[in-house]
Every structure is written in C-alpha cells, then in structure tokens.
Amino acid sequence: AQSVTQLDSHVSVSEGTPVLLRCNYSSSYSPSLFWYVQHPNKGLQLLLKYTSAATLVKGINGFEAEFKKSETSFHLTKPSAHMSDAAEYFCVVSEDSSNTGKLIFGQGTTLQVKP
C-alpha cells in the first residue's frame, strides 16, 4: 500500500534563505508524486509533479523537487524564500495506477517566512 510522510509539521525560515520541506513515501509500484501548496481559505494548487521522467522536477514559483528512489524521498526545495511562500504544503502520492485517480495526501507542512 502507498503512504506518504511529511517529516516536519512546521518549518520556519527567513526571507531570502533556502527552503527545504521533507517528504518520504512508500509504494509497492512506481508511483507518481506531487507537491501542492495551499494558501489560507484557498484550494490546493499544483506546484510540481514527478511521473517517472526526469528525477529532478522543476515547478512553479522557483520550487523544485528531486525523486530519490533509493531513499524513497521527494523533498521540496527553493533557493530563496519569499514572503508570499508562507502557506501549507502537501506531499502527495498516487494511490495506484488505476483509472480512479485517487491520491494519498501527507498531513502537510506549514511554512512560515520571517522578514
């Protein structure tokens, strides 16, 4: 069965410093992995997706993530945090390859950006 664990419930960085949000996954097949961002009282926005192509995935707003099969990790990074990056971030794995398209969500990491 598939699962995803976000290792930090809360991360605090200063504006202009790097961001690292950690995610480990467990899967019995080659999964697709995603990162989503949610600002307060808004829906989830897709940041990036890994679907078995390049292991380093670039997303929107300067974010990127690297798929490491040997470590079963899919950490999200950004070189320089901006105040507007403060939000909730979800690491997500596809449940299976069937046509239901169901996803499994991590519990989320709250990113705080200090001026």
Partner 1 sequence: SQTIHQWPATLVQPVGSPLSLECTVEGTSNPNLYWYRQAAGRGLQLLFYSVGIGQISSEVPQNLSASRPQDRQFILSSKKLLLSDSGFYLCAWSVDRGNQPQHFGDGTRLSIL
Contacts with partner 1 by CB under 8 A lie at 31-32, 34, 36, 41-46, 49, 51, 90, 94, 96-103, 105-108
Give residue 27's Cα distance to chain centre: 16
Residue 17 Cβ, how far from partner 1 at the closest point, in Å? 25
CB 35 within 8 A of CB 50: no
Residue 80 Cβ, how far from partner 1 at the closest point, in Å? 26
CA quadruple 93, 110, 80, 36: dihedral sign? positive
Q: Which C-beta is closer to partner 1: that of 70 or that of 98?
A: 98
Q: Which C-beta is closer to partner 1: that of 67 or that of 90?
A: 90
- Indicate the pairing of strand 56-58 with strand 3-6: unpaired
